[in-house]
Amino acid sequence: MDHAAAHQAYEAAGVGPEDVDVVELHDCFSVDEVLAYEALGLCAEEGEAGRFVTNPSGGLFSKGHPLGATGLAQRFEFVS
């Protein structure tokens, strides 16, 4: 994900990063989560994402990252 894609998505939805309360990311690699938070504009400055990362499930690697099942696990975690 990059800043341009995030900007297009926000524009299409008529919202901005300040309107986002919850983010459920496909964090296939730990660094991807940090980079995505920054690309989504959720951090005031580059390099800040690591300070507010909270992943109560432990991320996809903690589940063994089984293809297909990871998406289902994220939905379950989000609604439970």
Taking the CA atoms of the chain, what radius of gyration do you get in angstroms?
13
What is the chain's length? 80
List, for residues 10-62, the tens digit of each pLDDT value: 999 999 999 988 887 777 777 888 888 899 999 888 888 888 776 666 677 77
**pLDDT of amino acid 77:** 64
Give the total number of structural domains in the chain: 1
**pLDDT of amino acid 15:** 97
**pLDDT of amino acid 17:** 93
Look up the domain containing 23 and give its range. 3-79
**pLDDT of amino acid 57:** 66
**pLDDT of amino acid 31:** 80
43 within 8 A of 37, measured Cβ to Cβ: yes
**Residue 12: what residue type?**
A
